[in-house]
Structure 1
Amino acid sequence: MARDYSRTQRIGDQLQRELAQLIQFQIKDPRLGMVTVSHAKVSKDLGFADVYITVLPKGDQDEAEAIVVALKVLNNAAGFLRGELAHAIKLRVMPQLRFHFDESIERGRHLHSLIESAIRQENASQKSDEE
């Protein structure tokens, strides 16, 4: 019987917390806007960790450009971050970091707007039927 909260999930949560701190305080790249680490998924053999981020654009950047720049900066700094994580977390093998943009938040916003527009249309059609 599988446990409810596996070791890889616990390691992923710890990586998420540590990476959020490291990105905020250790990465000094001026191209990097505000980055939030939303999820870290560790493979079963601890070889790789897929880190999902969201990005708030900096200055006059548009969102798509900010995402591309942030992913490039973080993937270039993956070796440094992995070394810092090795000092903070005691593991025999520190997973290689792969950064990805978390599209689930954007998808959620889109679905929410679709639901809101459907509700508005339904309310408008009910009002016109009553009149």
Structure 2
Amino acid sequence: MFRSLFLTALTSLLLLSQSFASTPTRDDKDKEVKIKTSAICGMCKARIERNLSFEKGVKEADLDVKTKVVTIKYNPAKTDVSKLKSVISKTGYDADEVVADQAGYNKLPSCCKKGGGMDHQ
């Protein structure tokens, strides 16, 4: 009897440990991504950083105007890189391979457009 009780307990323990092992772990640790933009000036910087700050999960956004790269710290459980690029695009700027949304681009002041007001393609 003791042996069957021991085997039952051991089997239960093994099944329980397997169920924990197969449970996917959520990645709640903040991540950082760098995205190349088409930003030109300080007004671009303020606009991009402000719009990213409204995206759920974004902890921090800092655009280096000189390199045109925005560094974003975010919670991957609440947002992802494609959503971040979409925010930048909808704001009117290129975001790596994602081209600026035409409607967003049209709303930019002429000084923030590529070539200082030339038509965007």
TM-score interval for Structure 1 and Structure 2 normalised by the shorter chain: 0.3 to 0.5
Larger radius of gyration: 2
**TM-score, normalising length from structure 2?**
0.38
**TM-score, normalising length from structure 1?**
0.36
